[in-house]
Amino acid sequence: MQRVDGDGTRKFVYDGGNLLAELDNTNAIVATYDHGPLGLARQKRDTTIRYYHFDGLGSTVALTDVSEVVQDTYSFDAFGNLLSSTGSSTNPYRYVGQLGYHYDSVSGLMLLGARYYDAGVGRFITVDPAREGGNWYGYVENNSVNAVDPTGELVAQLVGGVVVYVAVSGALVGIPGLIEGNSVRTTHYRADLYAHCMGMCIGTACSFFVPGAWIAAWFKEWIDEPDDPDDWKANKIGRLYRQRP
């Protein structure tokens, strides 16, 4: 992916949804980005390193240097308009930068996966590729305080997906298993199957690009692992049947 404007050519190297590097027109590295389990962690431009600090929504509130000294600060309104800032570091990840909202300093727009978002009007500038709902240009159903859309195609509520998953799975799997004196196992295979299906769907959707999805997946695999291979038959979406009465 690349951008060509009055400042020249800038190429962007992605690994899935994560920007790894920016290159110039000679393919020389201009900047690199490091990501962790929670999203973006730091950037390096030439020899200058900046570490990101985010608020609960995922917006950058500060950049610090290698000595942990604050070099830049940011403040935004609910839809991503910059209210105030300090410092002069080059930084395209501002409003919800932790989840990959990429600010284009030339156009003033933000790239959210598949589409560009205009914070000035709180809307995307192109239609939803899925064409779902009644407003194909709307941003997070006007619930920008509690929701994000890092792909430009999916509204993700910022709630603990793993908590939802554990609650659903625990109620439908753990409780019957404990009653039967079989730890978190249960002979009620339908409850088990439904718990995993609903838990994974809800957990992943509610914790898009946050660790809840990975924790939920680990939790599911832990439950799926049979205590006795001769006793249980399991697969990736839940226990299908019991091999012996």
Q: Are residues 153 and 165 in the same domain?
A: no
Q: Are residues 174 and 84 in the same domain?
A: no
Q: Are residues 146 and 190 in the same domain?
A: no
Q: Are residues 152 and 224 in the same domain?
A: no
pLDDT of residue 70: 97
Q: Which residues contact 228 (CB under 8 A, 6 or more apart)?
A: none
Q: Are residues 58 and 122 in the same domain?
A: yes
Range of the domain at 173: 161-242
**CA-wise closest residue to 90 among 7, 148, 25, 13:** 7
Total count of domains within the chain: 2
pLDDT of residue 202: 56
Q: Are residues 183 and 198 in the same domain?
A: yes
Q: Which two structure tokens, joined as six digits, stand for 159? A: 């709630």
Q: Are residues 49 and 110 in the same domain?
A: yes
pLDDT of residue 135: 87
Q: Are residues 147 and 191 in the same domain?
A: no
Q: How far apart are CA 153 and CA 138, in angstroms?
A: 11
pLDDT tens by residue, 217-240: 555 455 545 544 444 444 434 434
Q: How far apart are CA 47 and CA 32, in angstroms?
A: 11
Q: Are residues 57 and 144 in the same domain?
A: yes
240, 189 Cβ separation under 8 angstroms = yes
Q: Are residues 138 and 217 in the same domain?
A: no
List, for the chain, all residue ranges whose pLDDT scores fall below the cut of 70. 1-7, 157-245
pLDDT of residue 98: 94
pLDDT tens by residue, 167-210: 343 444 444 444 444 433 334 444 444 554 555 555 555 544 44
pLDDT of residue 7: 63
Single residue among 104, 131, 157 that ends a domain in this structure: 157
Q: Are residues 212 and 127 in the same domain?
A: no
pLDDT of residue 198: 55
Q: How far apart are CA 226 and CA 74, in angstroms?
A: 50
Q: Which two structure tokens, joined as six digits, stand for 107? A: 């156009």
Single residue among 127, 157, 187 that ends a domain in this structure: 157
pLDDT of residue 155: 76
Q: Are residues 193 and 105 in the same domain?
A: no
